[in-house]
Amino acid sequence: MSRHQPIRVVKGMRDILPPDSALWGRVEHVAREVFRAYAYQEIRTPIVEVTELFARGVGQDTDIVTKEMYTFDDRDGSSLTLRPEATASVVRSYIENRMHERPGVKKLFYMGPMFRRERPQKGRYRQFYQIGAEAIGSESPTVDAEIIEMLFVMLNRLNLQGASMLVNSVGCAQCRPVFIERLRNELEKIKDQLCLDCQRRTVTNPLRVLDCKVPEDQPLIESLPVLSGLLCEGCKQHFDEVQSYLNDRKIPFVVSPRMVRGLDYYTRTTFEIVHGNLGAQNALLGGGRYDGLSEDLGGPPAPGIGFSIGEDRFILALGSADNAESSVDLYIAWMGEAAFRHAAELARELRSHNVAVEVASDPVKLKKSLEIASRLGAPYVLIVGDDEIAQARYALKNLSNSEQQTVSREELFQRFAGPAS
Cα separation, 355 vs 182, in Å, equals: 64
Same-domain status, 147 and 44: yes
The whole-model pTM stands at 0.81
What is the three-class DSSP state of 18?
Answer: coil
Domain of residue 78, residue span: 20-175+231-321
Cα separation, 254 vs 165, in Å, equals: 6
Beta bridge partners of 108: 41, 134
Q: Is 164 exposed, middle or buried (0-12, 13-18, 19+ CB in 10 A)?
A: middle
- Indicate whether 200 belongs to any domain: no
Cα separation, 220 vs 306, in Å, equals: 31
Cα separation, 408 vs 396, in Å, equals: 10
- Indicate whether 90 belongs to any domain: yes
Q: What is the pLDDT of residue 136?
A: 97
pLDDT in tens, 129-173: 999 999 999 999 999 999 999 998 998 888 887 778 899 998 998
Domain closes at, from 321, 346, 369: 321
- Indicate whether 277 belongs to any domain: yes
Same-domain status, 374 and 303: no
CATH number of the structural domain spanning residue 363: 3.40.50.800
Cα separation, 179 vs 182, in Å, equals: 5
Q: What is the pLDDT of residue 132?
A: 96
Quick check: 118 and 132 in contact, CB under 8 A?
A: no
Same-domain status, 409 and 290: no
- Indicate whether 203 belongs to any domain: no
106-115 sheet: strands from edge to edge? 41-42, 106-115, 127-136, 304-310, 283-289, 267-275, 163-169, 254-255
> For the chain, what is the domain count?
2
Same-domain status, 240 and 300: yes
- Indicate whether 98 belongs to any domain: yes
What is the three-class DSSP state of 72?
Answer: strand
- Indicate whether 297 belongs to any domain: yes
Same-domain status, 316 and 400: no
Same-domain status, 239 and 349: no
Same-domain status, 238 and 313: yes
CATH number of the structural domain spanning residue 256: 3.30.930.10
Q: What is the pLDDT of residue 200?
A: 81
Please report, for residues 349, 385, 420, the alpha-carbon distance to residue 411 in angstroms, rounded to integers and kept in the order given. 14, 18, 11
Cα separation, 167 vs 255, in Å, equals: 5
Residues 6+ apart with CB under 8 A from 150: 34, 35, 38, 40, 133
The list of the chain residues with pLDDT below 70 reads: 1-2, 61, 262, 276-282, 320-326, 419-421
Same-domain status, 160 and 285: yes
The one-letter amino acid at 402? S
Same-domain status, 147 and 70: yes
- Indicate whether 142 belongs to any domain: yes
Same-domain status, 237 and 113: yes
| DSSP designation for 64 | I
Crossing angle of helices 176-190 and 196-204, rounded to 10°: 140
Q: What is the pLDDT of residue 419?
A: 65
Domain closes at, from 321, 339, 372: 321
What are the φ and ψ backbone dihedral angles of 284, each rounded to 5 degrees? -90, -40
Q: What is the pLDDT of residue 317?
A: 81
- Indicate whether 103 belongs to any domain: yes
Cα separation, 333 vs 160, in Å, equals: 37
Q: What is the pLDDT of residue 321?
A: 44
Same-domain status, 244 and 344: no
Same-domain status, 315 and 335: no
Domain closes at, from 292, 321, 350: 321
